[in-house]
Structure formats: C-alpha cells, structure tokens
Amino acid sequence: MKDFTLGLCQFMVTNNKKENLLTALNYIEQAASNGCNIIALPEVFNCPYDNNFFNSFSEEEHNSETLNLLKNAAKDFNVYIIGGSIIEREDNKLYNTSYIFSPEGKLLDKHRKVHLFDIDIPNKITFKESDTLTAGDKLTVIDTPYCKIGIAICYDMRFPEMFKKMALSEAELIIIPAAFNMTTGPAHWNLTLRARALDNQVFVAAISPARDTTASYVAYGHSLVASPWGDIISSLDDKPGLLVCKIDSKLLYNIREQLPLLKHSK
C-alpha cells in the first residue's frame, strides 16, 4: 500500500437519469481537481432507490450510457472510478452492480450485490430487493498501484465473514456504495462501518446518496472513511458534498504490526 487521496461523491439522486449522470460527472471532475486518485460514487446513483424504477432505469453492460460516461471520465481525468452501483440487466435478470474503471478507461471488474436488502421493521421501513433483483455470488477484490481494494454494496456490510474473506485476500481498503435509511442509519451506520474496519484492520469508505426527504426511500447520507483502528477519520453530514481524504499507508502498517489480528486469524 502507498499513500493516495480518496474522493467520495455524495449527491442527491433524482428520477431523471440524465440529470443524475451530469451530477456524477461534475462531482468526479471536482474530485479529480482536488487531487483524488480514486473516486467513488453512491449506491444506485443514476436511479431512485425504489423497486418501481429499477426495471426502467436498468442498463445492459454492452450498451450502457452510464458505463460509457464512467469509462470516459476515468480516462479523461486519469483516475480510478468505483462507479457506485447501477441496475444491470442481463438475460432478463436485474442486478445491483458496481463497475470499477482504471485511469485508462478499462473495466477492471464488477461487483454484484451479494446480500439483497429484504427487511421489514414494523411501522418504520419495509423493502424487498428480491422482488426485482437477483443476488451476485462472488467476492470482488481489485489490484491497483495504491492498494488492493475490496468492493461491497450496502447490505453486504452486515455480513462480517464477507469482509474477513476480503481482508484475507489482502484488501487494505474496502469501498461500499450504500444507502442506509432513516431507521437503520442512525442506529447502525457508524457502528457497522467502524466494526468492519476494526475487525479486519482495513480502511473502509462508505458512500451514500445525499438525503432527499421527498423521496420514497430516504437515504441517511453521512458518507465516511473509517481507519484500521476503527476511528472515523473523515465524514459528511446528510447534505450533498465531496469528501476528500488522504489515506496514510503507514497507519495501516503500524496498526497491523502492533495488533496482529490478521496474522492470528485461523
């Protein structure tokens, strides 16, 4: 691992795809101009987080307006882009998928959300992704000149064993496009992200949409970066904003040397 600058783009997602793509591009340009080497977008950043929109907003990988924009932006600004997630359509199935592009505009990999968000908290929040989406079935860890990066999407973070596998696959940063809500967010967002970082001695970066109280699903916001010690080292509130965070490689190495959890894992 070596030092680099990470940019997390938290913005309002509307029901206008072209508007969302223009917003994403503006944030990517702003992050690049602030010296960010790796830039990440929110979960389902081009589409409202609502089963009623997923089919009509879905895109096929080989003919995708969104992926074409991300590919060109990565190349134009010479950055790695973790493309939040979009609704991917393949063989009449829909997936919640994150695409990762290199500074050359090459598609490095993609992560399909493994754990679908099917919950029912009476009188608070009910959502069932499996009504429209299909689950992915693999871990995703990519290699960059800065570090190895694991990718997870939102509800995936609830499953510690997935993060342990990524850490044992030498991930040093795990990036999580995510959209917690106003029930689970205040209760579990900071706690869960700090725990995943602490348990696996990795940096964890989670990127949420900004909060829109008029939406059918209200995102919590509060994008953040947690350190391998379990501290929150940088965060936003619920409003649109760009988080720029310098990642200190020495911090990770020192913590792993002083408290060798990964060496002691069996």
Task: Give the bridge partners for 145, in sequence order.
Answer: none
* Long-range interactions of 162-167: CB distance < 8 A, separation 24+: 162/114, 162/115, 163/196, 163/199, 163/200, 163/202, 164/199, 164/200, 164/265, 165/139, 166/139, 166/141, 166/200, 166/202, 167/200, 167/201, 167/202, 167/262
* Long-range interactions of 62-71: CB distance < 8 A, separation 24+: 65/17, 65/21, 66/17, 66/21, 67/99, 67/107, 69/21, 69/24, 69/25, 70/99, 70/101, 71/101, 71/105, 71/107
Separation of alpha carbons 225 and 147, rounded Å: 16
Q: Cα separations (Å) of 261 from 2, 225, 255? A: 21, 21, 9
Active site residues: 43, 113, 154
The distance between the two most distant Cα atoms of the chain, rounded to a whole number of Å, is 51
